């Protein structure tokens, strides 16, 4: 079977010197896993139902057939144990990738994530590295209710020693994962569940996306929208609707929350003088509060023509009822409304 899974037979095109093919976000992750594991025998994956079942969201698919059960390992239902085993494997020379079935379940493993993986390198004076990757599906929109739908990226970004990535496109899902596997530090990769089935052009072969470099997805003169995860595609759709109403928006996708590409964000805010920060996570102490502070402490502050605006999830557990779940987090129409107010009222 092709390494691109269900992408087999899709259109392949060459952009410059780079060949691309259409894959879904999930297929791109599977392609990255396959590519990395075939390239380096130290790389292996473990988690709940990642083997024969193919993962809770079908991401690993037939990976166990491609690589074998020794390196695509099903585990017991114990996130603390899974991450602990990953930390142990990492410090002894392996390149483990741990899949947490829902990002919410990292709560069960935070001691290993925050107190072990993130701190061993520093507490041992740099004598030991922890090249551990933790993949965690996050976000709402699947009707999974409060304990399976949270956006917890701010938890991880607050811990020194962790890198935090949030790919918003299929190509970045592959490229950032490959970079995370290469990295000598522990990296948390948050994959939005709603993005798994979304297709996109993905670079073939061993094609990485650099950690710590934001992507400017669209440029406009009237305001800058900074968004993460699923809110990137929503912001791009909102930008098209805004353009039809005469408002041109720049859309910046940080891609990596930590390290954060502050330079790109500040530059794009300076260029428009207005900024709307969009996240799915709850507003209070969310990651975009940090971005707002970065802007306020930078040269962008004197270029602002309006206050920094945040648009975020409501400070409530995610409801189960579909209409309430949708209302709890920013949708395209919410972004359009907030951006319009920011431009028209200031």
Residues annotated as catalytic are: 79, 148
Euclidean distance between CA atoms 269 and 276, whole angstroms: 9
Alpha-carbon dihedral 312, 316, 317, 323, rounded to 10 degrees? -80
Element (H, E) at 281: strand 275-282
- The DSSP code for 140 is S
Q: Are 162 and 136 in contact (CB under 8 A)?
A: no
- The DSSP code for 108 is G
Q: Are 121 and 129 in contact (CB under 8 A)?
A: yes
Maximal C-alpha separation, the chain:
60
* 20-24-28 Cα angle (round to 5): 65
């Amino acid at each position: 079977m092709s390494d691109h899974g269900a992408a087999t037979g899709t259109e392949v095109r060459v952009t410059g010197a780079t060949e691309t093919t259409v894959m879904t976000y999930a297929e791109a992750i599977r392609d990255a896993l396959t590519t990395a594991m075939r390239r380096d025998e130290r790389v292996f994956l473990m988690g709940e139902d990642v083997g024969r079942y193919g993962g809770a969201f079908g991401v690993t698919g037939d990976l166990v057939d491609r690589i074998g059960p020794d390196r695509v390992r099903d585990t017991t239902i114990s996130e603390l144990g899974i991450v602990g085993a990953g930390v142990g494997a990492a410090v002894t020379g392996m390149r483990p990738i741990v899949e947490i079935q829902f990002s919410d379940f990292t709560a069960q493993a935070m001691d290993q994530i925050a107190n072990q993986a993130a701190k061993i390198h520093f507490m041992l004076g740099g004598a030991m590295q922890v090249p551990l990757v933790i993949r965690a599906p996050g976000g709402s929109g699947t009707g999974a209710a409060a304990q399976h739908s949270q956006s917890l990226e701010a938890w991880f970004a607050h811990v020194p020693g962790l890198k935090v990535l949030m790919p918003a496109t299929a190509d970045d899902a592959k490229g950032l994962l490959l970079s995370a596997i290469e990295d000598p530090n522990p990296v948390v990769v948050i994959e939005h569940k709603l993005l798994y089935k979304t297709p996109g052009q993905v670079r073939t072969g061993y094609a990485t996306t650099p950690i710590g470099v934001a992507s400017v997805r669209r440029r406009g003169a009237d305001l800058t929208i900074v968004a993460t995860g699923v809110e990137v595609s929503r912001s791009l759709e909102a930008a098209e609707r805004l353009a039809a109403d005469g408002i041109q928006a720049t859309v910046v996708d940080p891609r990596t929350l930590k390290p954060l590409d502050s330079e790109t964000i500040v530059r794009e805010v300076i260029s428009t003088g207005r900024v709307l920060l969009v996240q799915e996570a709850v507003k209070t102490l969310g990651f975009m509060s940090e971005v707002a502070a970065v802007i306020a402490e930078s040269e962008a502050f004197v270029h602002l023509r309006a206050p920094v605006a945040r648009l975020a999830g409501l400070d409530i557990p995610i409801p189960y009822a579909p209409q309430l779940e949708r209302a709890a987090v920013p949708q395209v129409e919410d972004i359009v409304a907030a951006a319009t107010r920011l431009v028209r009222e200031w």
